[in-house]
Amino acid sequence: MQQPSESLPGVGPALSKKLAKLGLRTVRDLLQHRPHRYEAAVPERKIADLLAEGETAIAGEVRRVSVRRPRRNLAIVQARVADDTGEVTAVWFNQAWLADKLQPGTRVRLRGQLKRNEFAVRSYDLNGVSATADFAPVYPASEEVTPKRLRGLVERALAFAPDEHDPLPASLKASAGLPLRADALVALHRPRSLHEGEDARKRLAFDELLVLQVGLARARAGREGAVAPPLGDPGELTARYRELLPFELTPDQEQAISEIDRDLAREAPMQRLLQGDVGSGKTVVALYALLRAVEAGLRGALMAPTETLAEQHFLTIEPLCAELGVPAALLTGSVKSDVESARLVVGTHALIQEGVDLRDLAVAVVDEQHRFGVEQRRALVEDRSPHVLHMTATPIPRTLALTLYGDLSVTEIAKPPATRKPIVTSWVTAERSSAAYTRLRKHLDAGRQAYVVCPLIEESESSKRAAEVEAERLRRAELKGYRVGLLHGRLRTAERRELMASFKARELDVLVATTVIEVGVDVPNATIMIVQEADRFGLAQLHQLRGRVGRGAEQSYCLLISRPHEELTDTAKERLQALVDSTDGFELAEKDLELRGEGQLLGTRQSGLSDLRFVHWRADRPLLERARAAAETLVDYEGPLADEVERVFGERELAA
Ligand code: ADP
Ligand code: MG
């Protein structure tokens, strides 16, 4: 099972490289490649009985074959196919190479539809039944490796399925009525009904969830007995803070605050995840939690993963602290203000590395915790057990959050402050891009600013040149007469800051950018964004990019430009449509997971998610509950399950 895919017959170095790009490196990877759907069951008909109805299957022998080329770019393969009742002409489009394989005498099974007395083929098998089988699996594929190719490879890998060990204790399998893992793998790829395929998936999903839940249960057990200072009820300082804010807190913020207050009143250290899109108002809530520590005579610390983020937090927090009379300090690799006398410290991991005395730390806020290494997170809570609030701007669907951070309580800020209008998003294809630029220029002429994003993703010399060339082209064409700046990944920090500052000061009308527009960029006067070749971006990335507009009170727009519909994959179309339909980060995150089928969600890779191939985030909530319940009894269980837990948790630790 651990053998590389190359150990299978017919797989050479070239193919194994292409498979690796799909994450398929070993025989086991192939066996665990989940079909994203199954073909329907269709009736098999005798050729004489064929009707112009829906999809059907026929089986027969090729009599003769020919290729026609009625025009350039169109090749039609026609094969005369016979069974014992009659003959029909089967047609394939643009697969001229097939003609060689359809030599007279070849046995074929075809699935397709009778149209104008010809059988239009959707899928076919030569000398066997695989692609045309009822419930044939359809795999996530790439342009380089087709679903058909994958089907053949998985079939070869299935020979090894009986070697698969089963990590579940036999008693659990019996009591939960679960099939053997090896049987589930076979049924996953060769179900005799959709139901059987789904049962197989569930068994495999259960294993994944159980491993995570056992790991979490162990982490929980390890923390038992830790004590944090109970902070009692909110006091005078936080009351003044609320009054100081120039706005009313939103219901979601109020909810978050009351949940935090409840946590802080206890001795058990708070372990809460606060999630919400950028701009949803998390920082306001985080500062509240920090001030709760200060008013109890203790200290609060906010830890951010980069200097830039730490600085930004400090810029937000410091003026408020000054007004409240709370000494605050910034501590990063390059800045160190008066930390000793500060009651509230903002910093990078330098906070914990520089031997700062944080003994009276009562509340720690950890921003974007997934971006910290295990060591850094561990160091923060070493020898102390503060209340911890984890913050993330990467919305994670609730089921997923519970799975991954099963020992954290989760708070969502789902609705941003009402003063902000949702961004209007539209999607046009490249031939209509001139209309998009016309719209963009209207905004510029009205005194607004704009972004144009190009998908020149790699930060190499050549992509830098490409970005420069594109900016130059836009300056001469669509954006002629406007002041255009270029932001790309090869700029030095100082250059980038300068560029951002002049954009903010309205010395530039348009910022042409590669994907490096940072999360912190905040220019409320920018009201429109064009994303070129939007089909090449991921859903999460597009959502993040779009968040650069819509930051003021004005209505903002995001125009996604893609290649023509015919050239787009189904998932690319679904991605773009999802963005048009929704601005809700949580909804989009769920959609993203659904489309990708595995945990490649932004920033979650190292947290164990990529091991979850079989879980369906929407539907598997009951399964998750069962796994949690089972995990409680399996904390100390030895055997294959424990090895599996060790493998997943050995290198990383979930939000501990
Ligand atoms: P996040 O940390 O989630 O990115 P912030 O807390 O930084 O969001 O808030 C984003 C912006 O919205 C800030 O300028 C903040 O002052 C403002 N803001 C936060 N809460 C509210 C609210 N309830 N009403 C109006 N504006 C708010
Ligand atoms: Mg913020």
Tokens of 455: 């998908």
pLDDT cut 70: percent of the chain above it: 89
What is the CA(210)–ligand 2 centre distance, in A?
A: 35
Of all protein residues, the one whose alpha carbon is nearest to atom 18 of ligand 1 is 281
| pLDDT value for 656 | 34
- Of the candidates 164, 166, 125, the residue with the CA atom closest to the CA atom of residue 148: 125
Most confidently predicted of 372-376, 553-557, 611-615: 553-557
Q: Which two tokens stand for residue 272?
A: 């809460």
pLDDT over threshold 70, residue 543: yes
Mean pLDDT of the chain: 85
Q: Counting atoms of ligand 1 from 1, which one is nearest the CA of 280?
A: 3
Nearest CA to ligand 1 atom 6: 281
Q: Is the pLDDT of residue 306 over 70?
A: yes
Ligand nearest to the CA of 283: 1
Coil, helix or strand at residue 585 = helix
Residue of 565, 500, 571, 567 lying closest to 537 (CA atoms): 571
pLDDT exceeds 50 at position 598: no
Report the nearest atom of ligand 1 relative to the CA of 522.
14
Question: What pLDDT, in 10s, does the model give residues 33-60?
Answer: 989 889 999 999 999 999 888 899 999 9
Q: 10 Å Cβ neighbour count for 442?
A: 11
pTM, entire model = 0.66
> Which ligand 1 atom lies nearest to the CA of residue 316?
7
Per-residue pLDDT at 529: 96
d(CA 494, CA 483): 20
Q: 280 CA to middle of ligand 1, Å?
A: 6
pLDDT at 30 over 80: yes
For the CA of 413, the nearest ligand: 1
Atom of ligand 1 nearest to the CA of 278: 4
What distance in angstroms lies between residue 381's CA and the mean position of ligand 2's atoms?
Answer: 24
Q: Which residue has the higher pLDDT, 541 or 87?
A: 87
Q: What is the pLDDT of residue 103?
A: 93
With cut-offs at 50, 70 and 90, classify the pLDDT of residue 85.
Answer: very high
From 242, 245, 247, the mutation candidate for ligand 1 (largest count of ligand atoms within 8 A of CB) is: 247
Separation of 459 CA from ligand 1 center, angstroms? 32
Query: How far does the centroid of ligand 1 lie from the alpha carbon of residue 586, in Å?
Result: 18
Question: Crossing angle, helix 282-295 and helix 251-264, to 10 degrees?
Answer: 30
Instruction: Measure 421 CA to ligand 1 centroid, in angstroms.
Output: 14
Q: Which ligand 1 atom minimizes the distance to the CA of 413? A: 3
DSSP annotation of 325 reads T
Q: What is the pLDDT of residue 590?
A: 77
Q: How far is ligand 2, taken at its centre, from the CA of residue 61, in Å?
A: 67
Given a cut of 50, whether residue 601 has pLDDT beyond it is no
C-alpha closest to that of 357 among 369, 368, 367, 343: 343
pLDDT at 323 over 80: yes
CA of 524 to the centre of ligand 2 (A): 14
Evaluate if residue 104 carries a pLDDT over 80. Answer: yes
pLDDT bracket for residue 526 (50, 70, 90): very high
More confident residue, 208 or 265: 265
Atom of ligand 1 nearest to the CA of 284: 6
**List of residues 6+ apart from 489 with CB closer than 8 A:** 459, 463, 464, 514, 516
CA of 367 to the centre of ligand 2 (A): 10
The band of 460, judged by pLDDT with boundaries at 50, 70 and 90, is: low
Q: Which protein residue has the closest C-alpha to ligand 1 atom 9?
A: 281
The DSSP element (H or E) to which 202 belongs, if any, is: helix 194-223
Q: How far is the CA of 321 from the centre of ligand 1 (A)?
A: 16
Residues with CB under 6 Å of ligand 1 are 247-250, 253, 276, 278-284, 417, 419
Distances (CA, A) of 102 to 57, 96, 310, 416: 17, 11, 65, 60
Q: Which ligand is nearest to the CA of 246?
A: 1
Largest Cα–Cα separation, the chain:
94
508 Cα–ligand 1 center, Å: 26
Lowest-confidence region among 85-89, 106-110, 611-615: 611-615
Residue with tokens 């949940």: 259
Q: Which ligand is nearest to the CA of 274?
A: 1
What's residue 607's pLDDT? 42
Gap between the terminal Cα atoms of the chain: 32
Say how many Å lie between the CA of residue 313 and the centre of ligand 2: 7
Which phi and psi angles does 394 have, rounded to 5°?
-95, 105
Is the pLDDT at 354 greater than 80? The verdict is no
Best residue among 283, 316, 415, 518 to mutate for probing ligand 1's pocket (most ligand atoms within 8 Å of CB) is 283
Per-residue confidence at 653, pLDDT binned at 50, 70, 90? very low
What are the C-alpha distances in Å from 65 to residues 94, 97, 103, 381, 584?
A: 15, 12, 7, 73, 53
Give the model's pLDDT for residue 540. Answer: 81
Pairing of strands 56-71, 74-82: antiparallel
| Residues less than 5 Å from ion ligand 2, measured at CB | 283
Question: Which SS3 state, helix, strand or coil, does residue 179 take?
Answer: coil
- The protein residue with its alpha carbon nearest to ligand 1, atom 17, reads 281
Pocket test for ligand 1, best of 277, 284, 521 (most atoms within 8 A of CB): 284
User: What span, in angstroms and rounded, lies between the C-alpha atoms of 347 and 510?
Assistant: 33
Calculate how far, in angstroms, residue 446's C-alpha sits from the geometric centre of ligand 2: 29
**Which ligand gives the minimal distance to the CA of 313?**
2
What would the pLDDT profile of 248-290 be if each residue is shown by its tens digit?
999 999 999 999 999 999 999 998 999 888 778 899 999 999 9
Reported as a pLDDT band with limits 50, 70 and 90, residue 589 is confident
The average pLDDT across 533-545 equals: 86
Ligand 1 centroid, distance to 550 Cα (angstroms): 13
Average pLDDT of span 113-126: 93
Euclidean distance between CA atoms 528 and 526, whole angstroms: 6
Q: Model confidence at 427, in pLDDT bands (50, 70, 90)?
A: very high
State the closest ligand 1 atom to the C-alpha of 245, by its place in the atom list counted from 1. Answer: 16
* 173-182, 238-247, 391-400: least confident range: 391-400
Residue whose CA lies nearest to ligand 1 atom number 10: 279
Task: Give the residue ranges of DSSP H helices in 547-584.
Answer: 570-581
Tens-place pLDDT, residues 567-586: 888 888 999 999 999 988 88
* Per-residue pLDDT, 568: 87
The model's pLDDT over 603-640, given as tens digits with 9 standing for 90+, comes to 344 444 556 778 876 678 788 888 888 888 888 777 77
Query: What pLDDT is stored for residue 514 in this prediction?
Result: 78
User: Average pLDDT, stretch 80-91?
Assistant: 96
- Report which protein residue has its CA nearest ligand 1's atom 15: 281
Provide the sign of the torsion angle of the four alpha carbons 207, 212, 213, 215, taken in this order.
Answer: positive
> Residue 465 — very low, low, confident or very high, per pLDDT cuts 50/70/90?
low
For 147-194, what is each residue's pLDDT tens digit? Answer: 888 999 999 999 999 988 888 888 888 888 888 999 999 999 999 999
Q: Which ligand is nearest to the CA of 551?
A: 1
Ligand 1 atom closest to 250 (CA)? 23
Which ligand is the nearest neighbour of the Cα of 284? 1
| pLDDT given at position 164 | 86
Closest-lying ligand to the alpha carbon of 524?
A: 1
* DSSP-derived 3-state class of residue 143: coil
For tokens 């193919």, the residue is 15
